[in-house]
Structure formats: structure tokens, C-alpha cells
Amino acid sequence: MLAALLKWLGMDGSTRRHNEQVVAAIEKVIDGTDPRLRLLPGYRSQLSKGMKTSLAYLAGIPSHLPPPLELSLRAFTTDKRIGLLFSSPLSLLLFLRDSQNLSEFFLNASNGDEARGLLSMHRSETRRFGMSEENGEILSDVPQVVVSFDNHQLLLTCPSSAVLQSTMAGRCLDVLIEAMVRRLHLLDRSRVELEGERSHILLKLNALTTPGSR
């Protein structure tokens, strides 16, 4: 009975720990975006609900990741997904060789001889006209979209899937902060451009309404 009452009041251990995590996340976001937000009265309480929603979303990301890929020459010939992400076995080998995170991981002998990580890349689309078969007939000049991937990166290299899962939570928040910063920069740039256009229009209006300006 007492435990249920404490939980309802938010005074039980798990609720306190969760609230501490929310506060820590809020402070981290503010550090990464705009520390002046701390000047707002009650900023933590105002940001608390949104941060809880964000943390719940981020916590669910690892469970929605696609099945793991084995990055090896053997896998290139047996797993069709590898061939979609890398143009050739050579491009896969060069990627593994040049990965700084992977090199640093294997410098530590205690990590073992296998690494787990997140594979990141940039997806691009190219529109073209090509050949296609339809009902046994070869058609030419058919609009097609060619999807390709480049700028591959291997992130969060870890010795096991369990370590990767635990590391991912903090990294997801970092990525969210980076997205916030990019969005804020875009909004700030748009604001400056709009203010410049407004000033230009006001100057024109002032010139038109000033006697003798024509």
C-alpha cells in the first residue's frame, strides 16, 4: 500500500531516477543548443513533458533497427543486402580498411576480433531513362530511379550487441541535439533574411512616401 502511494506521488526510487534522467537530458540539450534558455523561469518544468516524450521515443529506436549485417567478403556473396549498400567487394574492403573507429577498436586486444556497430551512409537518387521488360516486351526510354549509397561510416564500435544497445541510448540523444542545432541555424538564417527583406521594403516605402522623392 505504501509503495503504491509513493509511486503515485512520484516519490518511489524508479520515478526519482527517471526524473533525474529527464533533468540531465534537459540540461544536456540546453548546453548543446542555447544556454540562455536557463534564464527562463521554470524552464525545466516547461521542457519536462516534451523531454519525456523524446526520451521514450529514443529508447524505442534500438528495437526498430534492421537485422544485423555481416560486413565481410563472404557476406558480400551470400547476403544481397551488402551488394545494395556497397558497389563492389573492393569498396567494402576499402571502407573497412579506412574506418578510423574500427582501427581504434582493434588496437585494444581486449575487444576481441569481432566488432559491432552502427552502419551509417548517405542515400541519393538519380533519375534516368533505361530499358525495362514488361509482359515479355523490351521497352526503352523508361523513367527509372537509381538509388545509391555513399559516405559510409561505422559508428559506436563495441565488442558485443549488449554494449552497443546500452551505448546507443546516449548517442541517440546526441544525434537529436545535432538535429536541433541544424534546425535552429536554419531558422536563424531565415529570420535574418526576412528581416533584411523587411528593411529593404520599408526603405522603398519610405522613399515613395517622402515628398520630392520621385
pLDDT at 66: 82
Cα angle 163, 165, 166 (rounded to 5 degrees) comes to 65
- Pick the closest to residue 153 from 104, 116, 99, 83 (CA basis): 99
pLDDT at 92: 93
Cell 535574418 belongs to 192
pLDDT at 139: 75
Long-range contacts of 53-56 (CB under 8 A, 24+ apart): 54/25, 54/176, 55/21, 55/22, 55/25, 55/173
- Please tell me the distance from the alpha carbon of residue 185 to that of residue 204, in angstroms, as a whole number: 29
pLDDT at 43: 93
Whether the CB-CB separation of 152 and 118 falls below 8 Å is answered with: no
Residue 154, all three cell numbers: 561505422
Question: CB atoms < 10 A from the CB of 25, how many?
Answer: 21
What does pTM read for this prediction? 0.57
pLDDT at 2: 44
The domain spans of the chain are 1-60, 73-169
CA dihedral over 111, 116, 120, 126, signed as positive or negative: positive
Please list the pLDDT of the chain residue by residue as tens digits (214 residues).
545 544 544 555 677 888 888 999 999 999 999 999 999 999 999 999 999 999 888 888 877 878 889 999 999 999 999 988 998 999 999 999 999 999 999 999 888 888 999 888 888 888 888 777 777 778 777 788 888 888 899 888 989 888 888 788 778 888 888 888 989 889 999 999 999 998 888 888 888 776 655 5
